[in-house]
Amino acid sequence: MKYIEEFRNDTYAKEVADRITQAADPSREYKFMEFCGGHTHAIYRYGIPSLLPSNVQMVHGPGCPVCVLPMARVDHAIALAHQPNVIFCSYGDMLRVPGSRKNSLLKAKAEGADVRMVYSIDDALRLAKENSDKEVIFFSIGFETTTPPSAAAVLQADREGIKNFSIFCNHVLTPPALKAILEIRDEKGDCGVSLNGFVGPAHVSVVIGSNAYLSASLDYKKPIVIAGFEPLDVLHAILMLIQQVNEERYEVENQYTRAVTPEGNQKAQAMMHEVFELASSFEWRGLGWIPSSALCLKEKYADYDASIKFKVEVLTQPENTGCECGAILRGMKRPNECKLFGKVCNPENPIGACMVSSEGACAAFYTYGRHQEK
């Protein structure tokens, strides 16, 4: 696989790992958060923790769209899927996510709902065209990465007069979530002190550009290094973060220059702005309600909004109180510090959000990292 294997090369990895060891000051601790689930996955899948010195620690952030979706939204999706004459389309890893009473879209499918796994929203639009007698709903979730395709699909449906297509919109935004984490105060009332810097998102940054993080970095005096999802990218970004911390800099640096520009993809941004607007507030699993942190369809496109088109009753139960997902998503606890971890909560039977998706901090740690458990 040309241009991929190069970023998984062990000779370079060893070189960068050696430089990290040299750069890391043994008299201090480095605690960095990788915001994205994609990075969490790469870190564990390639065994990056085993290459880092013990005083460099990675904390797993909330950047997994599956994990941060609150149970009420999953319940809402399941209720929509159960509507008569509906084909409900979803990305694969949403299917197993438990809602209240251990319901899930997979369970809804087994109970007779027409739930289909699709690889892209285009497939859902195609299904709508092929099944004009059915209503096709797409479970739109994700950060800025998956938002432009949703916008493009709505615009296409509008252009082509496809009336039996709608989306259940759950698109969330990265910068507000990043700030929400930095706003978390310790006992003394100081913000974000426990973290020394961030590995910034890869695909999200391709869309929104590196400038989108400038204010977070400046306001909270934290270095942010945008990195690609390949393991060598992650190692390189960690080295850059250590250098910034050592030099007491707090800048937005771009390691992922092969894909990310300061302004991002403006065509995609324009499409997003055409179709979506800021929702006043959105509930994040683990982080609670964050103002202006999510998108909803503009009134102009309300016909494509499944939550308006279908009035359903959603009954939600509260989350398990023993679950530490909130603290883990905020970077205050490690997965194995939760008393449910690996005992009642495991990928087979996930209790909390972080265990649900393979990108979730707990699932990644459980699946790939348990042999290094200390």
Partner 1 sequence: MKEIENVETQSPRHPRESGESLPRHPRESGDPENKSTTLDSRLRGNDESSGNDESSGNDESSGNDESSGNDESSGDDGRGGHDQQINLTHGGGGRAMARLIDSLFLKAFDNEWLSQKNDQACFSVEKGRMVMSTDGHVISPLFFPGGDIGSLSVHGTVNDVAMSGAKPLYLSASFILEEGFSIKDLEKIVKSMANAAKQAGVAIVTGDTKVVEKGKGDGIFITTTGVGVVPENVFISGDLAKPGDAVLVNGFIGDHGIAVMSHREGLTFHTALQSDSASLNGLVQTMVNAVPSIHCLRDPTRGGLATTLNEFASQSHVGFVIDEKKIPIREAVLSACELLGLDPLYVANEGKLIAICPEKEAQKLLSAMQAHELGKDAAIIGTVIEDPNRFVQLKTKFGGSRVVDWLTGEQLPRIC
Q: Which residues contribute to the site for partner 1 (CB under 8 A)?
A: 1, 4, 8-10, 13-14, 17, 36-38, 41, 44-51, 65-66, 91-96, 106, 116-119, 123, 141-143, 145-146, 203, 231-232, 347-348, 357-359, 366-372
Judged by CB, which is closer to partner 1: 180, or 202?
A: 202
**At closest approach, how far in Å is the CB of 30 from partner 1?**
18
- Which residue has 């740690």 as its token pair? 365
Judged by CB, which is closer to partner 1: 48, or 338?
A: 48
Judged by CB, which is closer to partner 1: 49, or 53?
A: 49
For residue 189, list its beta bridge partners.
none
Q: What span, in angstroms and rounded, lies between the C-alpha atoms of 173 and 293?
A: 5
* Residue 46, C-beta contacts closer than 8 angstroms, at least 6 positions apart: 8, 231
Judged by CB, which is closer to partner 1: 14, or 267?
A: 14
For residue 166, count other CB atoms closer than 10 A to its CB.
Answer: 29
Judged by CB, which is closer to partner 1: 132, or 349?
A: 349
Task: Calculate ∠ Cα 94-98-100, nearest 5°.
Answer: 135
Judged by CB, which is closer to partner 1: 253, or 359?
A: 359
**At closest approach, how far in Å is the CB of 118 from partner 1?**
7
**At closest approach, how far in Å is the CB of 249 from partner 1?**
28
**At closest approach, how far in Å is the CB of 95 from partner 1?**
6
Q: What span, in angstroms and rounded, lies between the C-alpha atoms of 113 and 80?
A: 9
Residue 240 Cα to chain centre, angstroms: 23
Residue pair 33/195 in contact by the 8 Å Cβ criterion: yes
DSSP string, 254-279: ES-TTT--SS--HHHHHHHHHHEEEE
Q: What span, in angstroms and rounded, lies between the C-alpha atoms of 306 and 168?
A: 5
Q: What span, in angstroms and rounded, lies between the C-alpha atoms of 166 and 157?
A: 9
Judged by CB, which is closer to partner 1: 62, or 223?
A: 62
**At closest approach, how far in Å is the CB of 302 from partner 1?**
25
Between β-strands 165-171 and 30-36, what pairing exists: parallel, antiparallel or unpaired?
unpaired
Between β-strands 86-90 and 135-142, what pairing exists: parallel, antiparallel or unpaired?
parallel
Residue pair 293/172 in contact by the 8 Å Cβ criterion: yes
**At closest approach, how far in Å is the CB of 37 from partner 1?**
8
Most distant pair of Cα atoms in the chain: their distance: 67
How distant, in Å, are the alpha carbons of 40, 45, 151, 244, 245 from that of 223? 19, 25, 32, 7, 7
Judged by CB, which is closer to partner 1: 220, or 256?
A: 256
Q: What span, in angstroms and rounded, lies between the C-alpha atoms of 114 and 262?
A: 42
**At closest approach, how far in Å is the CB of 143 from partner 1?**
8
**At closest approach, how far in Å is the CB of 124 from partner 1?**
11
**At closest approach, how far in Å is the CB of 231 from partner 1?**
5
**At closest approach, how far in Å is the CB of 311 from partner 1?**
28
Left (φ > 0), alpha (ψ -120 to 50) or beta: where does 364 sit? alpha
Judged by CB, which is closer to partner 1: 15, or 219?
A: 15
Judged by CB, which is closer to partner 1: 146, or 244?
A: 146
